[in-house]
Each structure stands twice: as C-alpha cells, then as structure tokens.
Chain A
Amino acid sequence: MPRTRRRLTPYLLLLPGTAWLVLFFAVPMGYMLVMSLQQGSLSEGYHLTWNWGIYPDIAVKYGNLFLRSVSFALATTVLTLAIGYPMAYTIAFYGGRLKNALLLVVIMPFFVSFVIRTLNWRMVLSDNGLVFGTLKDAGLLDQSFRFLATPASVIFGLTYNFLPFMVLPLFVALEKIDRRMIEAAADLYASRAQAFWRITFQLSLPGVVAGSLLTFIPAVGDFINADIIGARSPDVAMIGNVIQRLFLNSNDFPAAAALGFVLVAGTMLLVGVYTRIVGTDRLTS
C-alpha cells in the first residue's frame, strides 16, 4: 500500500491546482461556449439551439474590434516595455538602498482603485484641463486639440495602468542577474551595448516574457480605459466594451458569450504562439 500511495502522491499534489483550473477556467469556458450557442431573450429565457452560426456572425460584425483590441494591447505592451525596462533596470542595478522604496513608488498607484486613477487622468487630460488647457492658454496648442476619446489616449491609459505589471517581473529578472556575468562579458571584449544586449537583456528575457503576458492579456480584454479615458468613443471601442455592452445593456448573452469565448481562446492562441517562439523555458528558467 505505501508504494501505491507514493506513486499516487504527485497526482494528489496536482489535484488542488487541477481542481482550480477546472472550476475557474474549464467550467466557465464550457459554460460560455454553451451560452453562446443558445438563442432567446433574457425575459423569455434562452434555449440551446446549437447556433454555431453566431461565430461567423460576430467575426463579421466585430472582427475589426478584435483587431483593434489586439493592436491597442500590442502597442501598450511595447510602450510599457520601452518605459518599464529602463525603470526596472535602474532600480535593479542602481537602486542600492532605495531599491525597496523605488519599487514601492512603482506600485503606489495600486493603492488607489484602478477606476479612480483612470477617472483622475480623465480630469487632468480633459480638453481644457490642467495639461491641455494650460498649453492652449499659452498658445502652444490649437484650441480644437483634444486628447481624450482618441486611440492615443486609450493606449496612454492602458500603458499607465499596466506599467507596474511590466516593471515588477522585469525587476525580478534583472535583480537575479549575477553582476559578474556582465563583468565577464566586458572582460571578453563586449562593449557596454553588446554586454547589455548579449547578456543582460537575454538573461532578463523571462521577465520580458512574463511582463509582456501580464500586460498584453489584461490589456486586450480591458474596457475601462476605453470607457473612461476613451469616453466610449466609437473610435476606441475595444472588444471588452462590446462584451460589456452586450451583457449589460442589450442582454444579448449568447453574442456576449461568443465574443468572450473567442477573446479568451484567441488570447490563449496568441500567447501559445508567443511562448512557442520565445520558448516556455524562458518563463521557468
């Protein structure tokens, strides 16, 4: 008996994780899929009619919005990486005794609700607000200039809100790097730029991959930034906004479920391709 138990132990240890995945991922996904294939109305009830036709329908109707969401999320990922990498690098390599304080500053915005932070940006960036109002009064900007409710403003909001998700894993990865590795590269005739690119950056790739995923995945499904900073402008509507609208305003549960299913499945597919390209061992090494 003990031998049997020993053989079973690894599987038993996997059980909580598996149960978690099944309960909070597989079951909801299955439920969404089933919901998406139903027809009816909220008041009259929905019935499963295996309406697979909804998928080509939403592809035609909302294909552009998927593309927009992905491109907003990609732009956000690239921007957070471009801004976050120097931040994480500076804190990890030159933070010294201030390291923890600086990290605290990075995550400080998290102490305030996501929504409130975003609302405040809307106030600061409004057409005649603190920033643009001042610039307009100074004659540096045309009176008709506006930033809110434009794609750039939504990407700005996403970048601002998800920056810590990029900085933290980057910091962890950079912090782990043995400085002698960089000295060794310098010793072997690598210039500072070469040492950075060949060694530091390569060794920080797990952080880059983790940060990109932690940024891209929530960004692609985000709706709050388009809602608040984007003022629900049709130019910035992301797929999350449509899902929200279909669920809560139109009560069109099947279409919302279908979009949700495609969003999750599509995101997983993109992430799968990405990790296949960069290698999953980057996440674990």
Chain B
Amino acid sequence: MPPQIDVRLDRVTKRFHEVVAVDDLSLEIQRGEFFSMLGPSGCGKTTTLRMIGGFEEPSEGAIYLGETDVTGLPPFKRDVNTVFQNYALFPHLTVFENVAFGLRRRKVATDQIASEVTAMLELVELPGYEARKPSQLSGGQQQRVALARALINHPRVLLLDEPLGALDLKLRKQMQLELKRIQTEVGITFIYVTHDQEEAMTMSDRIAVMRAGRIEQLGNPEELYERPTTPFVAGFLGVSNLLEGEVAGHDGALVSIRLRDGTVLRAPADGVAASGPVRVGVRPEKLRVEAGEAGPSDGLNALAGVVLDASYIGVSTQYVIQTADGHRLTVYAQNLDTAGASEAMAGGQRVHLTWKPQHTFVISGPAEHVAGDPHLPEEGETDV
C-alpha cells in the first residue's frame, strides 16, 4: 500500500514585500508521520508552518490537506490544529475551557466535552487541573495544556511551532519523549518546527533541513546525519570535518578521493560524480586517533597529523588535529582505555587518524566559504 499523503505543498512561495521567505517549496508529508522542519532563524520554517495552518497565504503555489486544496481557506476551516510558540493559551479561561474551546466552537454536546477534556488532560498527565488559570501553571504544564487543547480536536495534522523553546533543558528532554509517546498513541501527523537539531533528531521520522526559504536536504535523521549532501546540513546537524579533494576513481561500491597532499580516501560511491572537486566529510566520533605514524591501512581511511589541542571532558576527550595539508579535524575519542586527563595525548604529539570508508560522506561541488547562514528577516517568526 503506497503511503497516504496528509499534507502536500506544491511549489509554494511566500514573499513579504520584496523579501522571499519561502522559495518555490514542494513537500509531501505522510499520514502518521512525525515530520520536522529544522533550520536557523529566518529559514522559512515557521512561515511554511503558518501557511499550512492558514495564518499566511502563499504568494504562489498551493497547499493540500489530503486531496483538498486548502490554499485560500481560513484557519477555522482547516482540519489542522496548532501548538503555538509560547502556547498562546487564553489567559482569561480555565484549563478546562482552554481545552474545550475547539469542541465548543464545533457545538459538541456539553457532557461529551466534559468527558473528552478529562480524557485529554489524562493523556497529557494533567488530571485535576481543570479549574486552574494558565497563569497558575508552570511552563511545562502550560505546554501540556496547549497540546491537549489542539489534540482534543483530533485534527488531521498537528502543527507545532517550537513548542519546547521556552522550557529549560531538562524539561525539554522529558517533553520530547512525551511528545513522541503521545504522537505514537494518537497516531496523528505532527509537523514540528524547531531550530534544535538534537530535538528534531530525537523525535522525527523525517526532517527537512531548511535554509533561505528552501529545503536543503530531506530525509530521516540517520540519513541526514550520516550522509549530509550539503556543507550546511553537515554543519547544522552536529560537528563535521570536511576535507577538500578531487574524485580519483570509482571502485565498485566505493569511490576514491585524492586530497591536495596526495592522500587517497575512500567513501561510499552513492551519487558521487565520476570526477571533479568534492569535499570528504567524517563525523568526529567516527575517528580513531592513535599515537605515532600511520600503520597498515587494512581498508581504513588514514590521515597523519599533529595534536593541536586536547580537552578532557569525562566521557570523552576532544582533540583538534592538524593534518599535513593544513586541515583541522575535530575528534571525539571515547575514554575506553584511558583513566584520566593525564593519559590523554598532549599537544604536539604526532598521531594518525583512521576511520571506515563507510563512515565517510562526500559533498559534491567545490568548496565555498560559508561563514554563516544569511539571516533573512522573516515576518511572523520569532525565535525566543
């Protein structure tokens, strides 16, 4: 059975005056999916979400919920609900009335409302809070009420706009798990907007990494992390080491890439061009660092270098290694064998790095110097 599409964006563009916030974006989100839109402030993620919710109208393109074109419909005629940044709870209404708000607007019978609200508050683990006002709740509790208020309507799609942004780290971790549990339990499609890559990775089935109004890369968390296709994605999802080189030749499932100093590295060949400049990437935790000159390679990629800096951080030691041709690589070495800071390798020590070709990713195209992401002002998006 082909996956059912819940939300479809067809070449959607949104302009605020002359600023393009969302640029010719197409997207399909499947039923029951936990879908995240990840990106820095101003990347267009919130605008996209608001267009799905009906709070903004696309300048061009169309939005479908299931088979229905909802492009011109106001929010209250769309089968979606939103959990707003900072929750937007109604301060003058009790928790009960906040949660019941959508049902009342749809003229659901009073006794049914009561039982549904009770059930929903149980789901978000706030039973007995019916009579409180939002101002009497903690941030985490308000977050749960906002969730309950949206979910009680059993929308086709739930939109969440940085819902955990205002919570402290510990609570955020806890709520991430809880959101995922609730999503699994109710089976509703979640579209989740965040600028926190770890949060997106923890919960999402698929993630769209956005930049400057476009989707930079779309895939499941593993794909994005292990095989980023752009330096932006590689950099946005954790630390990555990028080395400039040129394709030297294909060898079955692997491709050989020659660095400037002549070192040849191998990487999975998927989607890599037959020749031309590329960048080779590897995540810091995939690297093994050993003292001395490189030994036999037995199929591993290897690089020689010098320790520039070593910081012992308990669970691991973080090294900065400079290679012969001047690249600096970050390495996270698990402290499996070392017993403390004294046993870590000191600065100036000659070392060699090894890693599996399978852990290598290749980004096509010549190096461009991206100092940072151009920050587009995007109306309606506030990152707190």
Residues of A within 8 A of B (CB): 178, 180-181, 183-192, 194, 198-199, 202-203, 205, 285
CB of B76 within 8 A of CB of A183, answer: no
CB of A178 within 8 A of CB of B105, answer: no
CB of B153 within 8 A of CB of A188, answer: yes
CB of A187 within 8 A of CB of B76, answer: yes
A184-B82 contact in complex given A189-B102, A189-B105, A189-B106, C-beta closer than 8 Å: yes
CA distance in complex: A285, B105 (Å): 26
B84 adjacent to chain A (CB < 8 Å): yes
Q: Which residue of A lies closest to B106 (CB)?
A: A189
CA distance in complex: A44, B293 (Å): 119
CA distance in complex: A148, B88 (Å): 50
Interface residues of B in 76-91 (CB under 8 A from A): 76, 80-82, 84-86, 88-91
How far in angstroms is the closest Cβ of chain A from B219?
29
CB of A187 within 8 A of CB of B75, answer: yes
A contact residues around B101 at 8 Å (CB): 185, 188, 190, 198
CB of A186 within 8 A of CB of B88, answer: no
Interface size on B, residues (CB 8 A): 24
B369 adjacent to chain A (CB < 8 Å): no
Output the residue of A187, A191, A199 with the most chain B CB within 10 A: A187
B55 adjacent to chain A (CB < 8 Å): yes
Residues of B within 8 A of A (CB): 53-55, 74-76, 80-82, 84-86, 88-92, 101-102, 105-106, 149-150, 153
CA distance in complex: A190, B149 (Å): 13
Count of inter-chain pairs, beta carbons less than 8 A = 63
CB of A186 within 8 A of CB of B85, answer: no
Q: Which of B85, B90, B102, B153 contacts A199 (CB 8 A)?
A: B90
A contact residues around B150 at 8 Å (CB): 187-188
CB of A184 within 8 A of CB of B88, answer: yes
CA distance in complex: A180, B88 (Å): 6
Q: Which of B81, B86, B91 contacts A187 (CB 8 A)?
A: B81
CB of A188 within 8 A of CB of B88, answer: no
Residue contacts A-B, CB under 8 angstroms, 5 given: A180-B85, A183-B55, A183-B84, A189-B106, A194-B105
Q: Which residue of B lies closest to A180 (CB)?
A: B88
CB of A186 within 8 A of CB of B74, answer: yes
Smallest CB-CB A-B distances: 3 pairs: A188-B102, A180-B88, A189-B105
A sample of 19 more A-B contacts (CB under 8 A), given A180-B86, A188-B105, A198-B101, is A178-B86, A180-B85, A181-B88, A181-B90, A183-B55, A183-B82, A183-B88, A184-B82, A184-B84, A184-B89, A185-B90, A187-B55, A187-B75, A187-B80, A188-B81, A188-B102, A190-B101, A202-B92, A285-B92
CB of B105 within 8 A of CB of A190, answer: yes
How far in angstroms is the closest Cβ of chain A from B354?
52
A contact residues around B74 at 8 Å (CB): 186, 192
How far in angstroms is the closest Cβ of chain B from A267?
28
A183-B75 contact in complex given A189-B153, A203-B91, C-beta closer than 8 Å: yes
A contact residues around B84 at 8 Å (CB): 180, 183-184
B contact residues around A205 at 8 Å (CB): 92
How far in angstroms is the closest Cβ of chain B from A193?
11
B contact residues around A189 at 8 Å (CB): 76, 102, 105-106, 153
A contact residues around B92 at 8 Å (CB): 202-203, 205, 285
CB of A187 within 8 A of CB of B105, answer: no
CA distance in complex: A258, B92 (Å): 42
Q: Which of A181, A190, A198, A199 contacts B76 (CB 8 A)?
A: A190
